[in-house]
Amino acid sequence: MIGPSPRCFAIVSEVGVPLVTLEGVSKSFGDHRVLTEIDLAVDAGEVVVVIGPSGSGKSTLCRCVNRLETIDEGRILFEDRPIPAEGRELAHMRSRVGMVFQSFNLFAHRTILDNVTLGPVKVLGQKRAAAEARARELLERVGIADKADSLPRQLSGGQQQRAAIARALAMDPVLMLFDEPTSALDPEMISEVLDVMRSLASSGMTMIVVTHEMGFARSAADRVAFMADGRILEIAPPATFFDAPQTDRARDFLARIL
Ligand code: ADP
Ligand code: MG
């Protein structure tokens, strides 16, 4: 089944070194402040799971990390350098950050294999044969090798999300952002996606994962960050956080979700 197979993932990061650092990051939409003085350093190889109530700024945080949103204050460093503001440098940085959303966003009229090879061929300039070989390897890795020639609509939600993960991995990212990747899935398909993410985590991928799956947070996270009202109120290893949350907000949240 799905076991750790680091060979499939190009992990170039070094453990113990911050890959992404947010320093005093604040962000407003109009008058509405959605992120307030966020400090967060994610080490290479680390898995940070972000939890918190709806509207607390989790998605905005993810989007700021690859500059899908601009920030008002503070700074974000990627591999020790400020995120490029625009142009080819920004495009290059983004190509190294894989993002998986709640909605899978596969190209509906392309086969699964095409979905996974388009980025490497068009953006990275890989030869089609090489990109296809690698895509098949990744599809195998996420357990849908037999779906290479299918269209997205012929796959279940869980299979589509695994295809979306394979597509992101095909770009050889050094960081993967997951924003509620299982929230749109039927319950029976959640675990097959979480298993792939767990396998990726244990292969050494640096990951920021927004999820309501507390079992995943407990078993896969190095640290859990609890957000409320645009702030990180707590950040701690999962055992510490779940067994002894420090704030009323976190205790309330956990009481409702668990
Ligand atoms: P979460 O992912 O934790 O549910 P979000 O980051 O999506 O939270 O949203 C945080 C707050 O920012 C919410 O109040 C949301 O309505 C607001 N928000 C998010 N995106 C935008 C936007 N593009 N324009 C205006 N407000 C937004
Ligand atoms: Mg969100």
- Residues in contact with ligand 1 (CB, 6 Å cut-off): 29, 34, 52, 54-60
Q: What is the pLDDT of residue 88?
A: 87
Q: What is the pLDDT of residue 239?
A: 96
pLDDT tens digits for range 78-111: 988 888 888 888 888 888 999 999 998 999 999 9
How much of the chain, in percent, has pLDDT values that exceed 90? 84
Task: Give pTM, 2 decimals.
Answer: 0.93
Q: What is the pLDDT of residue 8?
A: 42
> What is the CA(192)–ligand 2 centre distance, in A?
21
Q: What is the pLDDT of residue 7?
A: 40
Residues in the chain with pLDDT < 70? 1-16
> What is the CA(58)–ligand 2 centre distance, in A?
5
Q: What token pair was written down for 98? A: 């894989």
Q: Check if the beta carbon of residue 12 is closer than 8 Å to that of residue 44.
A: no
Q: What is the pLDDT of residue 15?
A: 55
Q: Could you tell me the strand order of the sheet in which 32-43 lies?
A: 32-43, 18-29, 73-78, 81-82
Is the ipTM higher than 0.85? The answer is yes
Q: Check if the beta carbon of residue 203 is closer than 8 Å to that of residue 174.
A: no
> What is the CA(253)–ligand 2 centre distance, in A?
16
| CA distance linking residue 43 with residue 21, whole number of Å | 9
Which residue's alpha carbon is nearest to atom 22 within ligand 1? Answer: 29
Q: What is the pLDDT of residue 59?
A: 97
Q: Which of 31, 33, 34, 69 to mutate to test the pocket of ligand 1 (most atoms within 8 A of CB)?
A: 34
